[in-house]
Structure 1
Amino acid sequence: MRFSVFLNARSTKPEEDGRLITDLIDHAERAGDLGFSAIFMPDHHFNGYMPVASDSFLLAAYLAARMPEMYFGFSVVSVPLHHPVRFAERINVLDHLTKGKLLVGIGSGTTPEEMIGFAVNYKEASALAEKNLATAEELWAKRMDDPAVVIDNGPYQGRVLQRITPTPYGEHHARLMPVAFRESSARRAAENAWPAFIPAFTPPQIYGTEPLAHVTKHFGNYRRLLDEAGHDQAAIAAALDWTTHTYQCVHIAETDEQAREELEIILKGYQDAVDRENAFNRRAEADDANKKQDVNVNALDDGWIGTWCLYGSPETVIEHLKPYQELGIGNVLCGTTTGPLTEQRLGFANQTLDLLSSKVMPAFA
């Protein structure tokens, strides 16, 4: 089982942005020194959710130069917010910069406030994502003298006459990682022998206290489709190696009691930041085209903690993760910087990295 770090910190005011970027770079390099397998980044806009998430491709390129052995990933790229040409081009560039060590999570987005900033309606996001992905595949496959690729997808228009550059690093473009909610998304991953994100809930409810039951259901469906796709065992093993379950907040301390006490400090800061963001999201949801169906609960609710958090002593965390390893999860993605990245929060994050690497990861090596 692999362990990867998710750089999901928030900034709550403009004067924090620069320091947060520097602190996250230091945190990523610390994770690399401690033996974590990958650094994943979000793709978000406007809301203070990690300032460089506005262009996390840039951060990945910067880190790739400093950490040439590291894998890099996105959790996840909001496909409706990217022109398909720029989406395909940037993935190819980063594929070369990472020497093929790139994993591109893909989804349709979660936040109406972000959508309206790109002239996208929230309720149209899923259809836009599907068509953008289909167009990107056309662009990746296009040779110089093939007919033009015509782009006609809502706010995204164009006509590509030649090929896009650069070509992918390997024989195929970088691996995409769909979220295995819908049958179509799980099938896309399986048929291409790509890894998938395996969620711990089933919409429209996005929280609960039985995460393993949901992970088992979604992973089982993905694994069935992967087996049915007819790949050889090497391709199946490579897909499962990076099939990922994500914890938005991971916190480890020497004892369960200490971990819970510190987790509540972290989640209170996180909830304060979310409350500020929700005020703007409500303004974005002023019309039916941008109304969300799923509504998150308070982060201190047992259901939210049960779905999104991994915490406790190293021994407790090991016991929690054993069933996931037995199920076949290949990569545990750890949100180690959840919430505003204060000095205290950064200390908690580094504590978690140190205990994960020294006491938890060896149990799953």
Structure 2
Amino acid sequence: MTIQKMKFGMFLGPFHRIGENPTLALDRDLELLQWIDWLGYDEAWIGEHSSAGWETISAPELFIATAAERTKHIKLGTGVIGLPYHHPLILTNRMILLDHLTKGRMMLGVGPGTLLPDAYMIGSDPLLQRKRMAESLDIIMRLLTEPDPITYKSDWFTLNEAFIHLRPYNTPHFPIAVAASQSPSGLILAGRHGTGVLSLANLSDSFASNLNDFWKTAEDSAQQHNKKVSRQEWKLALQVHIAETRKDAVKQARKSAGFLQREYFEKTLGFPPMEGSSDKIIDQMIETGQCCIGTPDDLINAIHHLDEMSGGFGGLLIMETELGNREQVRRSYELIARYVMPQFQDSIRNLKQSIEWSKAKAPDFAELTKKTINKANKEKTK
């Protein structure tokens, strides 16, 4: 592995079917966060969406504040906040407050805004969103790092002698990551500021060149701006569902995967339709590398494959799309924590070494034990 200790986390949109109780669905999200916190996952990224029905968290910072009170260790990030939808000073102050309330467990993930209905409803021009995202992040970084007040006028926000009145809990500030999937703009921006990167992953070999080109774009941008980007802070998100057998995993995910593709991605968002019946969609997804559905060993192999394709990345984020029922989803995360995470976090190397050492010494120790018992028996008969 290129990365010695990989992080594991969850990317929570969330994706909830229309028709069920939305309050209970949010409670289930919080319950799942508590579960993966107990299992030892490193981080969770929470989405921001205001339309399209499925992804029901419109204020990730509020969700994070609630989750922070119910968890102990896991870091919690916005995944991601659409910067063109927020005034940068107000957003920065909110994130600083959250940094304090979580005692430093907060992370800021940013993007241009992904759902066009969100942009449409507030009159934000999608063609300007990447430009505005870059402009906003420039200001946010200045607010976090420069002591002097900032005066700045944009075509969509104004700053008059603006500065933050509360320093971040983290020094010099909370971790920041830029979403980068469909264009190089996010990687260029991450390189310009030396931030982390959040990307979508695909297991297909044809995707390898994209991953290599992606990271090179970030490195080139960082070099141009005298910054550094770390592969350790590059997180790849992938749909994953794990069970004891591959057959069980596919069976559990079959119905949900087809429903999600047809009802959300195709009918709601307008994605090109996948061919075939809904119950065959999961097979196409597996074949084209869009997900890892199988056993812990299948995911171990998939991570090694992603590592080879990318040249090294720092964390795997499970894109939580509820491919099973409540118990099956919880079991999937448990299997990953028990059998996958240790393979990439250097937590069992010494145990393996100890076992092999003991096996090699076993004949000698057995002989010594025999001699010790014989000696004790002789002394007893005296």
TM-score relative to the length of structure 1: 0.79
1:240, CA displacement in angstroms?
A: 2.8
Cα distance change, pair 216–297 in 1 and its aligned pair in 2 (3 A): farther
1:215, CA displacement in angstroms?
A: 2.1
Structure 2 equivalent of residue 331 of structure 1: 315
* Deviations 1:85-144 (CA, angstroms, capped at 9, x unpaired): 22211221122223333332221122211111221122222222222223333433564x
**Alpha-carbon distance in structure 1 between the residues aligned to 2:171 and 2:187:** 23
Cα distance change, pair 223–303 in 1 and its aligned pair in 2 (3 A): farther
**Alpha-carbon distance in structure 2 between the residues aligned to 1:89 and 1:119:** 24
Q: Kindly, what percent of the aligned residue pairs are identical?
A: 20
Structure 2 equivalent of residue 55 of structure 1: 59
1:276, CA displacement in angstroms?
A: 8.0
Cα distance change, pair 168–336 in 1 and its aligned pair in 2 (3 A): same
The number of equivalent residue pairs is 331
Structure 1 equivalent of residue 368 of structure 2: none
Q: Give the alignment's Cα RMSD to 1 decimal.
A: 3.0
**Would the aligned equivalents of 1:3 and 1:331 in 2 still touch at CA under 8 Å?**
yes
Gaps of 5+ in 1: 202-206, 283-294
Please give the residue correspondences for 1:290-305 in structure 2 after superposition, counting only pairs within 5 Å.
295-298=271-274, 300=281, 304-305=285-286
1:345, CA displacement in angstroms?
A: 2.5
Larger mean CA deviation between 6-15 and 87-96 belongs to 6-15
Matched, 1:314 2:318: no
Cα distance change, pair 50–93 in 1 and its aligned pair in 2 (3 A): same
**Alpha-carbon distance in structure 2 between the residues aligned to 1:353 and 1:89:** 34
**Match of 2:197, SS?**
coil
Q: Could you tell me which of 9, 16, 22 is aligned with 1:17?
A: 22
Cα distance change, pair 254–91 in 1 and its aligned pair in 2 (3 A): same
**Alpha-carbon distance in structure 2 between the residues aligned to 1:296 and 1:302:** 17
Structure 1 equivalent of residue 235 of structure 2: 244
Gaps of 5+ in 2: 1-5, 346-382
Structure 2 equivalent of residue 152 of structure 1: 154
Matched, 1:45 2:46: no
1:274, CA displacement in angstroms?
A: 0.5
**Alpha-carbon distance in structure 2 between the residues aligned to 1:274 and 1:141:** 40
* Deviations 1:225-265 (CA, angstroms, capped at 9, x unpaired): 5577666xxx76xx332310111x21011122222222222
Please give the residue correspondences for 1:115-134 in structure 2 after superposition, counting only pairs within 5 Å.
115-134=119-138
**Would the aligned equivalents of 1:208 and 1:304 in 2 still touch at CA under 8 Å?**
no
Cα distance change, pair 303–86 in 1 and its aligned pair in 2 (3 A): farther
Cα distance change, pair 314–195 in 1 and its aligned pair in 2 (3 A): same
Structure 1 equivalent of residue 352 of structure 2: none
**Alpha-carbon distance in structure 2 between the residues aligned to 1:274 and 1:187:** 30
Structure 1 equivalent of residue 208 of structure 2: 212
**Match of 2:58, SS?**
helix
* Deviations 1:127-174 (CA, angstroms, capped at 9, x unpaired): 22222223333433564x63x5344333xx344445233222234332
1:331, CA displacement in angstroms?
A: 0.5
Cα distance change, pair 21–180 in 1 and its aligned pair in 2 (3 A): closer
Larger CA Rg, structure 1 vs 2: 2
Cα distance change, pair 176–110 in 1 and its aligned pair in 2 (3 A): same
1:200, CA displacement in angstroms?
A: 3.7
Counterpart residue type for residue 153 of structure 1: D
**Would the aligned equivalents of 1:4 and 1:333 in 2 still touch at CA under 8 Å?**
yes
**Match of 1:153, SS?**
coil
